[in-house]
């Protein structure tokens, strides 16, 4: 089952090695993280990142191993933005020459970069960004400026205190004309003493939701006061400005400007499956240990995992963890395929890649955030403790519903893609890829449900047809209602809640389809495929609230712990007293409690100043 989850024996081996490397290194301890102040936590992040780099160099780790090392350190920090956004942005939007110059320094960590797009006043609406980059032909420079308070760059990870450079997105103005948003490489801080360069006001935007969590990251604010940069620091793969100041757009779609976001959205789907699997691992293992109430005759109490309500709340998340894992593996293939096509100027699958990455990022992160919160509740009071690992897991993964694109905004992008496809089908064009099912419109608009028993629901063809019919009918219904509106734009706006639902149905069809396709592969291990088939049935059935789920839950219950053990997480990475592999929950909870700084003294700080006088005074009053 480990191989089915990881994707290959090699993946299992590398993951095990990196997870153990992190778990065995005291520098990477994380059990006291939620007890640190914001400054201590930030400094701890710097220490871990520097140590990780040192180990990467010492051990000659590959890129795959280094990424896994960062992942198992499990502490958001500036390195995430450097590797996940700054480097990809230069790769995707820089010329060969610019890549050679800047990536050489970035790969050697001679500079630390971030991705500075969002502003105080605009995040979702990229075309609304206000920062300006005005070309000055007299000096062959761009003047980077924050014209308004709302144009302050706001949120970029690492910008606050760490990054020395950034790809800054700004309105390109030359010869008095505004050509819209383009990317520019800017140095922000001195490489000698790390002080901000002249004209740059920069700092952290303040504490964020949850203790520990994203507070390890210095999300920043930056204002630019007419800062000059050389013309050749405009990322010029998509467009150029000549020495004379002429704007020249290259022959690639302008949407490639958004390429970095597409890349990160596809990685976030894998992140979501990992976060969800961690929460499910904790809740399933604890549910097998925790016993509450038993037979009236004083017999042994019942494992809470045996309760049908616990199973109906938890097993859809177990199924979703596997579903998101498999669709994330497919999405990585899709992204690689699109990127290769772009190299040969084949832009035909760019819209599909945008719709799939936007839709899958949105659906998987929303479901994961909701599931982690429910897993906290599934663990009762102990799920609320930091030592359960669940509060921090929730706090780190909740913002994924917003960063890299607000989930509703992204679903509306999917809806726009679906409406375009429906109109193309109406004009006789055969849809391809993930919308190919829309070509079967006659059948799917009339077909009656062919599933009646639980066994029917384990028939992949039946499941797929039901999800295709559901998605198509919702999309066609939206298209028909939009056509009745005074204009396409007005109709789209009025119908936007329904369009979001139609987009979700389309994305869930993709997830179910990829789960089914995974089951058609050769899957190692005795009985593994059968278990995955049941999980596929649970994932599909729970989305349409089918009453036959109970039978499937009963069939999965005996293997539930084995199915989460297959995620192969070390206790260090899981970071949970409830989800420990050895199940020694109560002694672990008790031991963790005493680590809290509040327990450093038996009489708490503040007693002498505030508590003693109050108690003494009340005692005196009571004797009057
Ligand atoms: C180890 C520790 C763990 C820690 C966690 C680590 C995990 C990984 C790290 C993650 C770190 C995250 C840090 C966060 C970073 C950020 O948040 S960066 C900023 C992200 N911001 C956004 O995502 C903004 C979202 N908004 C947009 O993308 C755009 O504004 C928009 C909504 C797409 C609208 O764009 P606009 O230019 O207005 O276009 P439209 O008019 O809507 O559409 C025009 C056509 O273009 C097509 N299109 C749009 N986007 C794309 C695209 N990306 N690719 C391809 N095509 C695109 C669109 O479909 C339209 O096409 P037609 O319909 O054919 O005209
Ligand atoms: C932890 C974290 C890290 C981040 N890191 C970075 C980073 O490194 N670099 C960077 O550039 N940015 C970063 N961001 C910013 C992030 O990209 C934006 O917050 C995100 O794109 C959402 O934009 P917004 O904040 O403007 O939300 P808004 O768009 O203002 O959303 C507010 C509400 O309005 C709704 N809404 C907006 N537009 C529409 C519409 N057209 N139709 C219907 N509803 C709509 C949304 O659904 C939402 O409910 C980060 C954010 C977070 C939380």
Residue range 368-391, pLDDT digits in tens = 999 999 999 999 999 999 999 999
User: Ligand 1, atom 19: nearest CA belongs to which residue?
Assistant: 404
CB atoms within 10 A of CB 130: 18
Measured from CB, residues less than 6 Å from any atom of ligand 2 are: 81, 115-118, 123-124, 155-157, 214, 219, 399, 402-403, 405-406, 408-409, 412
Q: Closest by alpha carbon to 12, among 3, 20, 21, 4? A: 3
Give kind and range of the element (H or E) at residue 378.
helix 350-378
pLDDT at 280 over 90: yes
Q: For the residues of 54-79, what is the DSSP string, one character each?
A: HHHHHTT--HHHHHHHHHHHT---HH
Q: What three-state secondary structure class fits 223?
A: strand
Q: Which of 259-263, 379-383, 457-461, 538-542 has the lowest mean pLDDT?
A: 457-461
185: left (phi over 0), alpha (psi -120 to 50) or beta: beta
The residue count of the chain comes to 624
- Return the structure tokens found at 284: 């399933």
Residue range 309-359, pLDDT digits in tens = 999 999 999 999 999 999 999 999 999 999 999 888 899 999 999 999 999
Strand blocks (E) in 20-122: 113-116
User: Ligand 2, atom 23: nearest CA belongs to which residue?
Assistant: 123
CB atoms within 10 A of CB 550: 13
Catalytic option among 404, 490, 530, 592:
404
- Phi and psi dihedrals of 184, rounded to 5? -135, 140
Residue range 106-152, pLDDT digits in tens = 999 999 999 999 999 999 999 999 999 999 999 999 999 999 999 99
Instruction: Point out the ligand 2 atom lying closest to the alpha carbon of residue 116.
Output: 11
The model scores a pTM over 0.90? yes
Compute the distance from residue 162 Cα to the ligand 2 centre, in Å: 22
Q: The dihedral of CA 255, 261, 267, 270: what is its sign?
A: negative
CA dihedral 20, 22, 28, 29 (to 10 degrees): -20
| Arithmetic mean of pLDDT, 575-580 | 96
Instruction: Point out the ligand 1 atom lying closest to the alpha carbon of residue 402.
Output: 17
Tell the residue number behind the tokens 């930091």, with chain if given. 386
Confidence of residue 618 (pLDDT cuts 50, 70, 90): confident
Q: Please give the pLDDT value at position 548.
A: 78
Which option is the CATH number for 2-75: 1.10.10.60, 1.20.1600.10, 1.10.3210.10, 1.10.540.10? 1.10.540.10
- Which class would CATH give 111-250? mainly beta
Confidence of residue 160 (pLDDT cuts 50, 70, 90): very high
Kindly identify the ligand whose nearest atom is closest to the C-alpha of 160.
2
C-alpha to C-alpha distance for 264 and 81, rounded to whole angstroms: 10
Q: Please give the pLDDT value at position 75.
A: 93
Q: Is 299 annotated as a binding residue?
A: no
Asked: is 259-430+453-564 a CATH 1.20.140.10 domain? The reply is yes
Kindly identify the ligand whose nearest atom is closest to the C-alpha of 80.
1
Mean pLDDT score across all residues of the chain:
94
Q: Please give the pLDDT value at position 557.
A: 96
Most distant CA pair in the chain, distance: 94
Compute the distance from residue 341 Cα to the ligand 2 centre, in Å: 30
Instruction: Clarify whether 404 is annotated catalytic.
Output: yes
Q: Closest by alpha carbon to 88, among 106, 76, 72? A: 106
Q: Which of 58-67, 268-277, 511-520, 593-602 has the lowest mean pLDDT?
A: 593-602
Domain boundaries, the chain: 2-75, 111-250, 259-430+453-564
C-alpha to C-alpha distance for 209 and 400, rounded to whole angstroms: 13
Confidence of residue 409 (pLDDT cuts 50, 70, 90): very high
Compute the distance from residue 170 Cα to the ligand 2 centre, in Å: 17
Q: Is 13 exposed, middle or buried (0-12, 13-18, 19+ CB in 10 A)?
A: exposed
């Amino acid at each position: 089952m480990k191989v089915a989850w990881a994707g290959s024996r090699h993946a299992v081996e590398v993951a095990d090695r990196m997870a153990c490397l992190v778990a065995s290194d005291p520098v990477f301890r994380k059990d006291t993280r939620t007890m640190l102040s914001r400054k201590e936590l930030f400094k701890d992040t710097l220490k871990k990142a520097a140590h990780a780099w040192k180990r990467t160099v010492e051990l000659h780790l590959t890129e795959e191993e280094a990424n896994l090392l960062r992942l198992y350190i499990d502490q958001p920090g500036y390195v995430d933005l450097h590797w996940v956004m700054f480097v990809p942005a230069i790769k995707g939007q820089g010329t060969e020459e610019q890549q050679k110059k800047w990536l050489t320094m970035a790969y050697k960590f001679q500079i630390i970069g971030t991705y500075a797009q969002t502003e105080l006043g605009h995040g979702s609406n990229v075309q609304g960004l206000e920062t300006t980059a005005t070309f000055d032909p007299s000096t062959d420079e761009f003047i980077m400026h924050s014209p308004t308070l709302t144009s302050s760059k706001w949120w970029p990870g690492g910008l606050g205190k760490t990054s020395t450079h950034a790809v800054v997105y700004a309105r390109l103005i030359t010869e008095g004309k505004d050509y819209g948003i383009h990317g520019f490489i800017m140095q922000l801080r001195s490489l000698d003493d790390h002080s901000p360069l002249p004209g740059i006001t920069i700092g952290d935007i303040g504490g964020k939701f949850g203790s520990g969590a994203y507070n390890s990251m210095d999300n920043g604010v930056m204002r630019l006061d007419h800062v000059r940069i050389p013309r050749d620091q405009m990322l010029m793969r998509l467009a150029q400005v000549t020495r004379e100041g002429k704007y020249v757009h290259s022959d690639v779609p302008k949407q490639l400007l958004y390429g970095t976001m597409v890349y990160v959205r596809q990685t976030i789907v894998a992140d979501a499956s990992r976060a969800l699997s961690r929460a499910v691992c904790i809740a399933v293992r604890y549910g097998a240990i925790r016993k509450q109430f038993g037979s009236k005759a004083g017999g042994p109490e019942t494992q809470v995992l045996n309760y049908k309500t616990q199973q109906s709340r938890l097993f859809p998340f177990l199924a979703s963890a596997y579903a998101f894992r498999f669709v994330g593996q497919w999405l990585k293939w899709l992204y690689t395929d699109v990127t290769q096509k772009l190299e040969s100027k084949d832009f035909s699958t760019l819209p599909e890649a945008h719709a799939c990455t936007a839709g899958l990022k949105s659906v998987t992160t929303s479901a994961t955030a909701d599931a982690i919160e429910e897993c906290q509740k599934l663990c009762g009071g102990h799920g609320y403790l930091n030592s359960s690992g669940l509060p921090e897991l929730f706090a780190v993964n909740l913002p994924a519903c917003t960063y890299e694109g607000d989930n509703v905004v992204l679903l509306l992008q999917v809806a726009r893609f679906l409406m375009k496809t429906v109109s193309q089908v109406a004009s006789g064009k055969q849809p391809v890829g993930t919308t190919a099912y829309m070509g079967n419109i006659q059948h799917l608009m009339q077909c009656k449900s062919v599933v009646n028993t639980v066994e029917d629901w384990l028939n992949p063809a039946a499941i797929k047809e039901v999800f295709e019919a559901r998605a198509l009918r919702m999309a066609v219904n939206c298209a028909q209602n939009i056509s009745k509106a005074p204009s396409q734009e007005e109709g789209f706006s009025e119908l936007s809640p329904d369009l979001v639902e139609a987009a979700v149905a389309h994305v869930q069809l993709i997830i179910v389809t990829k789960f089914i396709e995974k089951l058609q592969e050769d899957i190692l291990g005795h009985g593994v495929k059968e278990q995955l088939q049941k999980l596929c049935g649970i994932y599909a059935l729970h989305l349409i609230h089918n009453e036959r789920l109970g039978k499937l839950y009963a069939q999965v219950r005996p293997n539930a712990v084995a199915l989460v053990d297959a995620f192969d997480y070390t206790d260090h990475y899981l970071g949970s007293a409830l989800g420990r592999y050895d199940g020694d929950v109560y002694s672990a909870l008790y031991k963790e409690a005493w680590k809290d700084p509040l327990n450093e003294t038996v009489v708490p700080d503040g007693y002498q100043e505030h508590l003693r006088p109050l108690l003494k005074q009340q005692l005196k009053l009571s004797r009057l």
